[in-house]
Amino acid sequence: MTTKTHETEIDIDREVPLVRITRDFDAPPEKVFRAHTDPDLVMKWLGPRSLQMRVGHFDCRTGGSYRYKHVRGTEEFGFHGSFHEVRPSELIVQTFTFDGQPDEVALERIVFTDLGDGRTRLTSTSLVDSFAARDAFVASGMEVGIREGYERLDEVLAGSD
């Protein structure tokens, strides 16, 4: 099998505070779905490479819930949420909350579209209740280089009188 690299597309919606990520995979929907629901598999890809992922529990079924941590040395970033709707090989609707901000919640919708020929399009949207929260969320995805990014922005902002 040739290893094709597919482009990950990001859509930062301007009208609604959501982020949409689209990506194709060379695997059928059942497999891609299983990689999202089996915690042993989820652990291997979900967290940033620089962090270790520890799963508290991961009960991926309608009405279930999850809790996990990303750990780096003494630093811990915990997350939890509920699985609102789980439909095998089709759909996962879940909530997502950073333990550090328990009042903030994102509504995530992961759609597995069968492209045929053993391929799947994964469309993942995260909806929050304000643009500020969405943007903080976009920024938090950038584990690496966030500080550098802020410094750069500070520089640019300082330069523009």
Partner 1 sequence: MGADPLSRVFAALADPTRRDMVGRLAAGDATVNELARPYNVTVQAVSKHLKVLADAGLVSRGKDGQRRPVHLEAEVFDLMTKWIERYRREAEDRYRRLDDILAAMPDATGQGESPSTSTTYQKGSSS
Asked if 12 interacts with partner 1 (CB under 8 A), we say yes
Residue 70: closest CA among 35, 100, 93, 94: 100
Q: Give the range of 22-30, 90-98, 103-111 binding partner 1 by CB under 8 A.
A: 22-30
Asked if 112 interacts with partner 1 (CB under 8 A), we say no
**One character per residue 48-87, x = contact with partner 1 (rule: CB under 8 A):** xx-----xxxxxxx--xxxx------------x-------
Task: Report d(CA 38, CA 74) in Å as an integer.
Answer: 27
**SS3 state of residue 20:** strand
Task: Report d(CA 127, CA 132) in Å as an integer.
Answer: 12
**Least distance from partner 1 to the Cβ atom of residue 127, Å:** 15
Q: Are 42 and 55 in contact (CB under 8 A)?
A: yes
**Least distance from partner 1 to the Cβ atom of residue 157, Å:** 4
Q: What are the angstrom distances between the C-alpha of 20 and each of 37, 50, 66, 70, 73?
A: 20, 24, 22, 23, 31
Asked if 98 interacts with partner 1 (CB under 8 A), we say no
Asked if 111 interacts with partner 1 (CB under 8 A), we say no
Q: Are 79 and 96 in contact (CB under 8 A)?
A: yes
Task: Report d(CA 128, CA 104) in Å as an integer.
Answer: 8
State which residue, 50 or 74, has the beta carbon closest to partner 1.
50
What residues make contact with partner 1 under the rule CB under 8 A? 1, 3, 5-10, 12, 14, 19, 21, 23, 25-27, 30-32, 34-35, 37-41, 44-46, 48-49, 55-61, 64-67, 80, 122, 131-132, 134-136, 138-139, 141-145, 149-150, 152-154, 156-157, 159-161
